[in-house]
Amino acid sequence: MQSSQSLKILLDMLREDLKAKLDSTIGGMPNTGTAVDDSISHAIETLREGLLDKFELVAKADYEAQVALLENMQAQLKDLEERLAVLEQEQAD
Protein backbone atom coordinates (compact mmCIF):
# COMPACT_ATOMS: atom_id res chain seq x y z
CA MET A 1 0.00 0.00 0.00
CA GLN A 2 2.98 2.31 0.58
CA SER A 3 3.89 2.00 -3.12
CA SER A 4 0.38 3.01 -4.09
CA GLN A 5 0.58 6.15 -1.97
CA SER A 6 4.04 7.00 -3.33
CA LEU A 7 2.81 6.55 -6.89
CA LYS A 8 -0.24 8.72 -6.19
CA ILE A 9 1.94 11.48 -4.74
CA LEU A 10 4.32 11.30 -7.70
CA LEU A 11 1.47 11.47 -10.22
CA ASP A 12 -0.16 14.35 -8.32
CA MET A 13 3.13 16.24 -8.46
CA LEU A 14 3.35 15.54 -12.20
CA ARG A 15 -0.24 16.74 -12.69
CA GLU A 16 0.44 19.99 -10.83
CA ASP A 17 3.67 20.61 -12.76
CA LEU A 18 1.95 20.00 -16.09
CA LYS A 19 -0.97 22.21 -15.10
CA ALA A 20 1.36 25.05 -14.09
CA LYS A 21 3.29 24.83 -17.35
CA LEU A 22 0.12 24.66 -19.42
CA ASP A 23 -1.40 27.60 -17.54
CA SER A 24 1.65 29.69 -18.28
CA THR A 25 1.62 28.59 -21.94
CA ILE A 26 -2.12 28.93 -22.55
CA GLY A 27 -2.35 32.16 -20.64
CA GLY A 28 -5.81 33.48 -19.95
CA MET A 29 -7.76 31.56 -22.57
CA PRO A 30 -11.18 30.79 -21.02
CA ASN A 31 -12.17 27.13 -20.34
CA THR A 32 -9.17 25.79 -22.25
CA GLY A 33 -7.13 25.34 -19.07
CA THR A 34 -9.94 23.46 -17.36
CA ALA A 35 -10.45 21.12 -20.31
CA VAL A 36 -6.73 20.45 -20.54
CA ASP A 37 -6.50 19.89 -16.79
CA ASP A 38 -9.39 17.42 -16.94
CA SER A 39 -7.72 15.59 -19.83
CA ILE A 40 -4.42 15.43 -17.98
CA SER A 41 -6.13 14.26 -14.79
CA HIS A 42 -7.93 11.52 -16.67
CA ALA A 43 -4.78 10.42 -18.50
CA ILE A 44 -2.72 10.32 -15.29
CA GLU A 45 -5.44 8.41 -13.42
CA THR A 46 -5.61 5.88 -16.29
CA LEU A 47 -1.82 5.54 -16.20
CA ARG A 48 -1.85 5.02 -12.42
CA GLU A 49 -4.52 2.35 -12.64
CA GLY A 50 -2.65 0.61 -15.45
CA LEU A 51 0.58 0.58 -13.46
CA LEU A 52 -1.09 -0.71 -10.31
CA ASP A 53 -2.88 -3.46 -12.26
CA LYS A 54 0.52 -4.87 -13.23
CA PHE A 55 1.50 -5.48 -9.60
CA GLU A 56 0.30 -8.26 -7.34
CA LEU A 57 0.01 -6.41 -4.06
CA VAL A 58 -0.37 -8.10 -0.68
CA ALA A 59 -0.81 -6.72 2.79
CA LYS A 60 2.46 -6.01 4.59
CA ALA A 61 1.43 -8.23 7.52
CA ASP A 62 0.84 -11.18 5.14
CA TYR A 63 4.21 -10.62 3.49
CA GLU A 64 6.01 -10.42 6.84
CA ALA A 65 4.26 -13.59 8.04
CA GLN A 66 5.45 -15.45 4.92
CA VAL A 67 9.01 -14.16 5.39
CA ALA A 68 9.01 -15.31 9.01
CA LEU A 69 7.66 -18.73 7.99
CA LEU A 70 10.35 -19.07 5.32
CA GLU A 71 13.12 -18.11 7.75
CA ASN A 72 11.80 -20.64 10.27
CA MET A 73 11.73 -23.41 7.66
CA GLN A 74 15.26 -22.55 6.50
CA ALA A 75 16.50 -22.79 10.10
CA GLN A 76 14.77 -26.17 10.51
CA LEU A 77 16.31 -27.41 7.25
CA LYS A 78 19.79 -26.34 8.37
CA ASP A 79 19.28 -28.13 11.69
CA LEU A 80 18.12 -31.31 9.96
CA GLU A 81 21.06 -31.21 7.55
CA GLU A 82 23.47 -30.89 10.48
CA ARG A 83 21.80 -33.77 12.33
CA LEU A 84 21.94 -35.93 9.20
CA ALA A 85 25.63 -35.16 8.75
CA VAL A 86 26.30 -36.22 12.35
CA LEU A 87 24.33 -39.48 11.90
CA GLU A 88 26.15 -40.25 8.65
CA GLN A 89 29.49 -39.59 10.35
CA GLU A 90 28.55 -41.88 13.28
CA GLN A 91 27.45 -44.61 10.89
CA ALA A 92 30.69 -44.33 8.92
CA ASP A 93 32.75 -44.78 12.11
Q: Are residues 5 and 38 in the same domain?
A: yes
Q: What are phi and psi of 59, to 5 degrees?
A: -65, 145
Res 13: pLDDT: 80
Res 70: pLDDT: 97
Q: Are residues 52 and 42 in the same domain?
A: yes
- Tens-digit pLDDT profile for the chain (93 aa)? 466 677 778 777 877 777 777 666 666 555 555 676 777 778 888 888 888 778 777 889 999 999 999 999 999 999 999 999 999 999 988
Q: Are residues 52 and 11 in the same domain?
A: yes
Res 3: pLDDT: 65
Res 62: pLDDT: 93
Res 38: pLDDT: 76
Boundaries of domain holding 85:
58-93
Q: Are residues 64 and 29 in the same domain?
A: no
Long-range contact list for 55-59, CB < 8 A, 24+ apart?
Answer: 55/3, 57/1, 57/3, 57/4, 59/1
